[in-house]
Structure 1
Amino acid sequence: MTIAKAGGNRVAGDHMGMLATVMNAIGMHEALERRGVSSRVFSAVPMPTICETFSQQRAERALKRSKVVLFAGGTGNPFFTTDSGAALRAAEMGCEALFKGTNVDGIYSADPRKDPNAVRFERMTHADVLSRGLQVMDTAAVALARDNGIPLVVFSIQEPNAFVDILRGQGRATIVADD
């Protein structure tokens, strides 16, 4: 349950969510480093003793030095989801696609865990996602991706090796693109 749903302050709840993404990014950074993969954590929320404050230029320099770049802290502002933060960073960094790991293996007409008649989509446009009101990402994130020509790849994070399989062209996902 979120703080806001329990009658608390939405801004405080969003700040807690941003901090949680920083903790997750630090955990991912440590896991990558243990495997010999050099990485950097950039946060939209300044916390210089823990990680770097996001700067497009510094993030690009890290990428050019073959480092994995981990973005945390969402947009740094309340009332924006982590999806919006991901779409914003993808646009700023000129990413070729935005991958969304979720609990199901793509986008469906309804929640397949609740509706046995839900239909899975292999491919659709950003406009389709928005006009159908599909809840895969918030509308701001989908619109930002659309406006910047960024395809979305929605896959199940629950499936072992799903991300790697998709990168190899073998995985199961829904592609959202306007080509």
Structure 2
Amino acid sequence: MEAAKYKRVMLKLSGEALAADKGYGIDFDIASEIALQIKKLVEMGVEVGAVVGGGNIWRGRQGEDMDRTTADYMGMLATCINALALQDSLESAGVHTRVQTAIEMKEIAEPYIRRRAMRHLEKGRVVIFAAGTGNPYFSTDTTAALRAAEIEADVILLAKKVDGVYDKDPYKYNDAVKFNNLSYFDVIEKGLQVMDTTATSLCMDNDIPILVFGLDKPENIIKAVKGEKIGTLVSKVSCNK
């Protein structure tokens, strides 16, 4: 099997990726496909951490009058549902998996403990980090950046609906241009929708590259880890279309 470019990765999946065309809830066929690709990574010797969003179940302040903190905690619980679903798909595929939550719920998952997470990764177990950072006002993008820094991941694999980063919305504009490479500063200065500013700054401060690619084909996860030309790489390099 072809060698991997990265030894330890943080896979960031949106909640919408698990919903697929349903738009809401969990499409277990898609979850199983993603699980099989993660299994291939583990077989390649790659250590895999993962963060899953919760947008397929609860997205932000859906109630206009809802308190922001309450809404954010509801979103954290949604990520736990997705994490357990992905864990089930992974274990059905024969992959040893642990879910660690930033908010303690010991009956269903381990509490997040960095040293324990590192040990799981070293033993070849996939670790899914759920419940965000455990604090309101922080996104799952920031969670992915924070946990990636803590576990010393080589890269964040940011799986999205689009196949990279564009200068404008490719679904709305036919003349949208895709970037091959971007610097962290480019992303912040141009206001590009890669990760939120807090997450991007955290990656910049810790020199963690972000590889943005489309999840329309689950095998793109393998291509990304092998270092194939795919998506948009955000790192220290200058803007390059």
Counterpart in 1 of 2:68? 10
Matched, 1:141 2:199: yes
Number of aligned residue pairs: give it. Answer: 179
Which range is displaced more, 130-139 or 167-176?
A: 167-176
Which range is displaced more, 159-168 or 44-53?
A: 159-168
Q: Percent identity?
A: 41
Counterpart in 2 of 1:127? 185
Is the 2:79–2:132 contact (alpha carbons within 8 Å) kept by the matching residues of 1? yes
Q: Give me the whole-angstrom Cα distance separating, in 1, the residues matched to 2:173 and 2:179.
A: 15
Normalised to the residue count of structure 2, the TM-score between the two structures is 0.71
Normalised to the residue count of structure 1, the TM-score between the two structures is 0.95
- Measured after TM superposition, the shift of residue 171 of structure 1 is 5.5
1:162 aligned to which of 220, 229, 234: 220
One-letter code of the match for 2:120? A
Listed as ranges, the gaps of 5+ residues in structure 2 are 1-58
Encode CA deviations 1:3-33: one digit per residue, 9 max, x unaligned.
Answer: 3562211111111111111111111111111
Listed as ranges, the gaps of 5+ residues in structure 1 are none
Runs of 4+ in 1 over 3 A off after TM superposition: none
Output aligned runs, 1:6-155, within 5 Å.
6-155=64-213
Is the 2:60–2:72 contact (alpha carbons within 8 Å) kept by the matching residues of 1? no
Q: Give me the whole-angstrom Cα distance separating, in 1, the residues matched to 2:193 and 2:102.
A: 25
Encode CA deviations 1:120-143: one digit per residue, 9 max, x unaligned.
Answer: 001111111111111111000000
Higher RCO, 1 vs 2 (CA within 8 Å, ≥6 residues apart):
2
Encode CA deviations 1:139-171: one digit per residue, 9 max, x unaligned.
Answer: 000000010010001011222422122223335
